[in-house]
Every structure is written in structure tokens, then in C-alpha cells.
């Protein structure tokens, strides 16, 4: 395991300057573990100077560390966590004085990674020089060496093709690219000297990555497929990270990170260790199945006031269809247990527009909430987050039809009426119009490049999307019309996430059988 301080740099030894960009607001970016990790990894090299940039709507990007503009850096790296941030990325490059056409790039070199890059990089091929598909750790040393050689004219883009897991659009030759996987997290560096802020959703907190990947296989979930296999850090390593981190980062709160956090076999022991150190504990989300009575007692003692759970659907039938089978009786039993553990507030996540969904399934959300109000939590202590299901590449639902805006709007109106009658007012809906755009960015092709440019030039608004797609007669629906045929090649099939396509197709058919 590697835990080390970021070196104090001797600027006479700096060979390369890297801008690490998060294309959204600081408050979101400071809570992103990927940014903390990559910043730490890059700065662990004595001859590399890495500085952070965040999106600011009204100002050209300037680094957090020295206030320098993007154009002063040799390499510009973006972590792409969310498709709707693509336009922010382009705005940062444009306002930073960098050409948006990758064919014009000599310096700086533009690199992108993150779950959206691995999902489907095709909408951004006109703008990005190199995509890192998967975990960076397996190629980190060679990658930094090539970046330095590239800066000094000793290497070309072609030389980067010698490394696995890189998609380089300008020289791509129709080969299959296998994602990069760091197999042993105990051998991977974990950032213990972290940049924290009270502006983070977690507050001033040390982010501790417990797991990568998720074994559950919920059929709608991108991370559940692209991030396999499940990998975990040992308890002894996590304890060392925490003890080192609270000293180096000067925090009193630990936020545990991992898509399968609830499946970590020693989670209760880890949480107990954190509390024994006199630290506060934050758990972004817990699987309902993990809420044993003993774990709830531990959470109660931690002072946790809100617990976030994701039933996803209101009916048992629909949960089974999406691969998240939770019996109704068990679900209700755990909600009651949360209430009895004196956890004040319950936040619930639901998806709408799921495959095979019927009007009855929507009414089942109302019925479930009615029972919760009767037996566990009053409506003023419920917080709901309602999001449209968006088909994602590399999942069993990648063949699903695109979102129907009229259907979504009708469903939302029905739910709003239900919630009003139940007196639940703390409800968040993702605007279905943005969800529809997120869908095309998830499953789009390179034809989206010129559209993104035009939308950027017209203000990045929903009105800009309507105007541009109408002007060029582009149909968001037709562009995602992928028939569920085994021999039908999908645009992103050149990325091997190490899951047989036949397995995904079998799960798709199982849902619809």
C-alpha cells in the first residue's frame, strides 16, 4: 500500500505541468474522489506539477493553486463523471484559449478519463486527444514518461498506442480496446493528504475508498458492469489510511466511498473503528439489505441523522425485472427499523421509465410511501429523489428505446399529485428534458460533435438544444434506435469491459420474457 505526502516541489526540476479539470462547480468537484486520487498520483512525481481547475460559469478557468490559465499547461486532463458536463468541458477549453478541434492540438494535449469516457467516448472524439479507459494506476509510470517525452518532441501520439487501455481517435485503427483494471487495491496508492472544504456536500472530510466495482448486477446500472470485478481494500490497510489521513489532512470526519460499500464484509468493524477514534462518519448510501439491527445501532451511535436508501421501484415485480429483487415485507421492516433506531430522516431514490414499467408500478411508489408514513416516518421526514431511467452502454439495458418525453412528463405529473396528497414536499425531480439529452450523450456517436459546438455557441441551454436539433433536423430518438439483435454492432462495442455481450443480451431478454 502506498500512502505518502505530496512532495514540496523544486520548480527547477519540473518537466511537465498538468491541469486537472473537473467540469463542474467547485462544490461538486471537491467531493469527487477521482480528482483527489489523480491529483495525488500526478503530484507524487517530483518532476510533475499538477494543479486543479473547476468550472466557473462567468470566468475563464484559473488554477486553484497559482491562478494560472489553462493555456500555460502542457497537459489538460478532464475527469468525466456526468454526461451533462460535456458542454462545461468545452466551455472551459474555449474560454481558456484552447482550440476545440483536436486536429489543431500541439500544446496542450487534451486527455479525458472517468466513467463517461469508458462508457462511450464517441461524442467527444473531435475534441479529445487521448481517452484513458478505466483505472489509471496500471499504466501511470509509463503514461507520465510518455507525456514528458511528448512535450519535448521525443514521442508522438502513435507512441501512446503502445500502452493498453488508451483510445486515441486520430490514429484509431478499428482495434478492440480493453479497459484498464487495477486488481489489488491494497497495492494502489490512496490519497491521505487531501484537499478538503466545508463547501463539500460531505463537509470537511477525508474520502476513503473502500471498494471498486459492484457485484449486484442491477441491470440499469453503468458502474455495476463497467467497473467489475469487485475489489476491496483490507481492513488493516483502511485503518492505516484513516490514521494517516486524519493526521495529514487535519479532519475529524471520514466519508466512506465505494459503489458496493454495503457488501464490504467488515463494514461494521470499519465503522466501529472510525467511531472509536472519536471521528464523525459519513456513508453516502447504504444498500437496504445491509441494514442489520447491529449496523443500525452503530449508525445510531454515530449520530447519523439521515439515511439514504434506493428502492428504485415501488413494486416487487419491477424491482425483480431490473435485477434488484427486494421483498416488500423486508423493505418495510427495514424502514421501521431505521425509525426505531432514531434516525431522523429517510432519503429515498426512485427511478421512473424503467423497462416493463406500467401505470400500476407508478402507483406502487405511492402505496409504498403511504405504508412508510403509516408505520415508520411522517411525510415531513421523507426526502425523495426521482430520476428518469437512462439507458447506458455496456449494460443489459443498452438496447432499450430512448426516453419518451411525453410519457415522462405524464408520469411526473401523476407522482406530483400523489406526493401532494401524501403531504411529501421535499422532492427532487431531474428535468426529463435534460434526462433526454443525457441519454443521447450516453449512446451517441461522433455526429454529436458539431451539435455540441453549436449548442455551446448558443448558450448551452435547453432552448439551444431545441434550436440546433431542429435546424439540422436531428432526432434524438432516432439516433438511439438500436434494435435488440445479437448480431447488431453497437457504436461502443470496440471497448471491451470484460463482460461477454451475450451475457448482457441474455439479461435483457430475461427482463422482457
Over residues 167-178, the pLDDT tens digits come to: 999 999 999 999
Average pLDDT, the chain: 93
Map grid coordinates 448551452 to a residue: 460
Q: What are the φ/ψ torsions at residue 306 (nearest 5 degrees)?
A: -130, 135
pLDDT at 303: 85
46 contacts 10 by C-beta, under 8 angstroms: yes
CATH 3.40.50.2300 is held by the domain 11-178: yes
SS3 257: strand
pLDDT at 11: 67
210 contacts 256 by C-beta, under 8 angstroms: yes
SS3 420: helix
How many other C-beta atoms lie within 10 A of the C-beta of residue 505? Answer: 17
pLDDT at 203: 85
Consecutive H or E run containing 505: helix 501-512
110 contacts 129 by C-beta, under 8 angstroms: yes
511 contacts 396 by C-beta, under 8 angstroms: yes
Q: Kindly state the cell numbers that stand for 407.
A: 410519457
Is pLDDT at 484 greater than 60 in this prediction?
no
| Identical fold between 11-178 and 183-284 | no
Is pLDDT at 285 greater than 60 in this prediction?
yes
Contacts for 496 with CB less than 8 Å, ≥ 6 apart: 176, 177, 178, 179
pLDDT at 201: 81
Q: Give per-residue pLDDT as tens, 387-419.
A: 999 999 999 999 999 989 999 999 999 999 999
Q: Give per-residue pLDDT as tens, 149-198.
A: 999 999 999 999 999 999 999 999 999 999 999 999 999 999 998 988 88
CATH 3.30.750.210 is held by the domain 183-284: yes
Is pLDDT at 9 greater than 80 in this prediction?
no
For 302-495, CATH number? 3.30.750.200
Q: Give per-residue pLDDT as tens, 206-215.
A: 999 999 999 9
Question: What mean pLDDT comes out for the span 433-446?
Answer: 96
Cis amide prior to 287 (ω within 30 degrees): no
pLDDT at 333: 96
Distance CA 286, CA 243 (A): 24
Residue 54 banded pLDDT, cuts 50, 70, 90: very high
Domain extents in the chain: 11-178, 183-284, 302-495
Is pLDDT at 6 greater than 50 in this prediction?
no
Q: Give per-residue pLDDT as tens, 220-259.
A: 999 999 999 999 999 999 999 999 999 988 899 999 999 9
pLDDT at 23: 97
Question: What mean pLDDT comes out for the span 326-336?
Answer: 94
**Percentage of residues of the chain with pLDDT beyond 90:** 86
pLDDT at 224: 93
Q: Where is pLDDT greater, at 481 or 126?
A: 126
The 3-state secondary structure of 66-129, one letter per residue: CCCEHHHCCEEEEECCCHHHHHHHHHHHHHCCCCCCHHHCCCCEEEEECHHHHHCCHHHCCCCC
Which residues in 314-465 belong to E strands, given as ranges?
Answer: 345-352, 382-388, 427-429
Residue 486 banded pLDDT, cuts 50, 70, 90: low
Sign of CA dihedral 393, 443, 182, 171: positive
Is pLDDT at 450 greater than 80 in this prediction?
yes
pLDDT at 102: 83
Sign of CA dihedral 123, 128, 133, 134: negative
Cis amide prior to 229 (ω within 30 degrees): yes
Distance CA 217, CA 235 (A): 25
Interior CA angle at 46 toward 41 and 47, to 5°? 100
How distant, in Å, are the alpha carbons of 13, 15, 46, 49 from that of 9? 8, 11, 6, 8
pLDDT at 310: 94
SS3 253: strand
Question: What mean pLDDT comes out for the span 482-499?
Answer: 85
Residue 202 banded pLDDT, cuts 50, 70, 90: confident
Amino acid at each position: 500500500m502506498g500512502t505518502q505526502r505530496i512532495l514540496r516541489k523544486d520548480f527547477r526540476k519540473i518537466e511537465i505541468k498538468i491541469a486537472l479539470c473537473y467540469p463542474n462547480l467547485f462544490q461538486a468537484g471537491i467531493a469527487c474522489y477521482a480528482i483527489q486520487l489523480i491529483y495525488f498520483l500526478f503530484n507524487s512525481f517530483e518532476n510533475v506539477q499538477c494543479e486543479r481547475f473547476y468550472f466557473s460559469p462567468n470566468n475563464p478557468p484559473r488554477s486553484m493553486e497559482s491562478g494560472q490559465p489553462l493555456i500555460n499547461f502542457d497537459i489538460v486532463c478532464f475527469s468525466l463523471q456526468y454526461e451533462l458536463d460535456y458542454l462545461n468541458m468545452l466551455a472551459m477549453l474555449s474560454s481558456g484559449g484552447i482550440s476545440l478541434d483536436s486536429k489543431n492540438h500541439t500544446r496542450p494535449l487534451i486527455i479525458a478519463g472517468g466513467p463517461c469516457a469508458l462508457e462511450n467516448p464517441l461524442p467527444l472524439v473531435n475534441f479529445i486527444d487521448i481517452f484513458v479507459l478505466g483505472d489509471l494506476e496500471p499504466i501511470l509510470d509509463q503514461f507520465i514518461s510518455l507525456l514528458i517525452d511528448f512535450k519535448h518532441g521525443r514521442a508522438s501520439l502513435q507512441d501512446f498506442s503502445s500502452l493498453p487501455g488508451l483510445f486515441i481517435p486520430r490514429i484509431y485503427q478499428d482495434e478492440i480496446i480493453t479497459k484498464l483494471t487495477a486488481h489489488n487495491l491494497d497495492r494502489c496508492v490512496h490519497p491521505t493528504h487531501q484537499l478538503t472544504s466545508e463547501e463539500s456536500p460531505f463537509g470537511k472530510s477525508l474520502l476513503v475508498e473502500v471498494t471498486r466495482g459492484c457485484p449486484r448486477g442491477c441491470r440499469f446500472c453503468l458502474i455495476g458492469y463497467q467497473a467489475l470485478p469487485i475489489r476491496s481494500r483490507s481492513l488493516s490497510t483502511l485503518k492505516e489510511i484513516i490514521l494517516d489521513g486524519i493526521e495529514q489532512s487535519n479532519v475529524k470526519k471520514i466519508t466512506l466511498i465505494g459503489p458496493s460499500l454495503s457488501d464490504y464484509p467488515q463494514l461494521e468493524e470499519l465503522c466501529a473503528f472510525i467511531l472509536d477514534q472519536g471521528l464523525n462518519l459519513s456513508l453516502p448510501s447504504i444498500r437496504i439489505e445491509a441494514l442489520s439491527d447491529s449496523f443500525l445501532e452503530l449508525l445510531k451511535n454515530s449520530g447519523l441523522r439521515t439515511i439514504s436508501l434506493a428502492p428504485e421501484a415501488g413494486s416487487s415485480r419491477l424491482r425483480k425485472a431490473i435485477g434488484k429483487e427486494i421483498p416488500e415485507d423486508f423493505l418495510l421492516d427495514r424502514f421501521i427499523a431505521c425509525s426505531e433506531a432514531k434516525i431522523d430522516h429517510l432519503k429515498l431514490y426512485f427511478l421512473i421509465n424503467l423497462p416493463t414499467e406500467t401505470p400500476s408500478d407508478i402507483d406502487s411508489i405511492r402505496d409504498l410511501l403511504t405504508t412508510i408514513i403509516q408505520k415508520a416516518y411522517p411525510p415531513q421526514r421523507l426526502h425523495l429523489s426521482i430520476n428518469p431511467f437512462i439507458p447506458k452502454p455496456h449494460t443489459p439495458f443498452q438496447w432499450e428505446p430512448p426516453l419518451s418525453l411525453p410519457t415522462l412528463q405524464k408520469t411526473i405529473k401523476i407522482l406530483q399529485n400523489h406526493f401532494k396528497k401524501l403531504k411529501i414536499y421535499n422532492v427532487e425531480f431531474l428535468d426529463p428534458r435534460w434526462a433526454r439529452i443525457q441519454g443521447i450523450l450516453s449512446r451517441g456517436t461522433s455526429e454529436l460533435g458539431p451539435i455540441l459546438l453549436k449548442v455551446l455557441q448558443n448558450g448551452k441551454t435547453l432552448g439551444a438544444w431545441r434550436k440546433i436539433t431542429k435546424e439540422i433536423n436531428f432526432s434524438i430518438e432516432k439516433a438511439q434506435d438500436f434494435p435488440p439483435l445479437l448480431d447488431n454492432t453497437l457504436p461502443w462495442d470496440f471497448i471491451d469491459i470484460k463482460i461477454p455481450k451475450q451475457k448482457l443480451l441474455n439479461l435483457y431478454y430475461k427482463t422482457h420474457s
